[in-house]
Structure 1
């Protein structure tokens, strides 16, 4: 992972900066996303994951995954913090009954419960200090018997990232086609370590490496003692 140095004294609002990056990236997101992801393989993996019933997608972006979820869901709700991303997603899902919510996940509270909560390449954008709160949110969002389903980058993706050294949270620098530079949280998990961490947080999970760069997982809350 290539490193650049960021001022340690910079008390950056990581959530606002991350949202700003995705707002700016919306017009080129689909092109760059296809370059970074192995979509045919990951789509096949998605087919094998337990997605059904009332489905909530977190960080839906431009709706690339939303369209794949729609024929498997009784109802589908998609949430993202970037209005520009949601504009593209709404266009992609035109003619469906998909409900869209614009909100920062870290300040959002669900108004109902879901059988499946799905998120692709979002968990790596959750800072370590926010991980427990995020999984508590998922617990509140899930209906009894429901599960969280997710896909994300593994440690091997470090080779294509530009690490910001001494940032207060794990951060990478991303560059857009217009030459602008943006910062985003990027926490690369491994399947075994994430499984242990989720167990400590009160979740039973099954997480597998699906190719050298990605893992997929299913997690269900354990009953609290």
Structure 2
């Protein structure tokens, strides 16, 4: 079951590549009205501000780098970025958007990825929620292995909030880790989606060895900044 879902998840994000930014910028099916959209962007600004305060990094590893929304932010705080994603389609969009000589792209499945280099910062946004519970500890152990002593990790993800997703998606607070996602053309995929509470994420990061601080915005986002000591 898990292997099938993980393959569907890769297929979904490949097929969704040209639609992904609609979610982030609240376009089309993701337009939730003026009030909710304004709150979304205000809370995005809070998280971006936290990212912009990261200092003391040269080499950055971005996992699940996607279409470049956060890669663009990382360009302002590091000197070299290694951006990994399983989808060649989103890598192409990311590269086209940024056209930056300091970003090196690698197409890899993060569930089979094995770290071989240490970085000053490992960053990933809206990815941990797609890692099945049986794999999350081993994944975070690989993240820890990728951070140099004194280096940092920064994680962004979603809180449970029905207006964060498309109008034709249904979120149920039933702890089911498998949910159905649709594309604009109505194709459907099953993916993993887990919404972490701050104390859960704090415990996961502490267990693997990070000294981390976990925060939430009012409605939409959870984020964590940690250090390897």
Question: So what's the TM-score if we normalise by structure 1?
Answer: 0.84
CA–CA separation in structure 1 for the residues paired with 2:56 and 2:218: 21
Q: How far apart in 1 are the matches of 2:54 and 2:67?
A: 21
- Are 2:223 and 1:213 equivalent residues in the alignment? no
Secondary structure at 2:212 match in 1: strand
TM-score by length of 2: 0.83
SS at match of 2:152: strand
Q: Does structure 1 residue 179 correspond to structure 2 residue 170?
A: no
Query: Unpaired segments of 5 or more residues in structure 2?
Result: 31-39
Q: 1:162 to 1:49 in 2, by over 3 A?
A: farther
Hey, what's the Cα distance between the residues in 2 that align with 1:84 and 1:29? Answer: 11
State the partner residue of 1:162.
Answer: 170
Q: Give the equivalent residue in structure 2 for 1:43.
A: 48
Q: Which stretch shows the higher mean deviation, 12-21 or 172-181?
A: 12-21
CA distance in 1, matches of 2:18, 2:112: 25
User: What is the total number of aligned residue pairs between the two structures?
Assistant: 212
Structure 1 residues 211 and 220, CA gap change in structure 2 (3 angstroms): same
Match of 1:193 among 173, 194, 200: 200
Query: Could you say which residue in structure 2 is the equivalent of 1:26?
Result: 17
TM-superposed deviation, 1:51: 6.9
**How does 1:90-105 map onto structure 2 within 5 Å?**
90-105=95-110
Higher share in strand: 1
Deviations 1:73-98 (A, max 9, x none): 12111110011010101111214321
Q: Is the partner of 1:105 in helix, strand or coil?
A: coil
Q: 202-211 or 79-88, which moves further after superposition?
A: 202-211
Aligned to 2:35: none
Alpha-carbon distance in structure 2 between the residues aligned to 1:218 and 1:129? 23
Which whole-Å CA distance do the structure 2 matches of 1:207 and 1:80 have between them?
Answer: 25
Where does 1:77-96 land on structure 2 (aligned, <5 Å)? 77-96=82-101
RMSD (Å) for aligned C-alpha atoms: 2.5
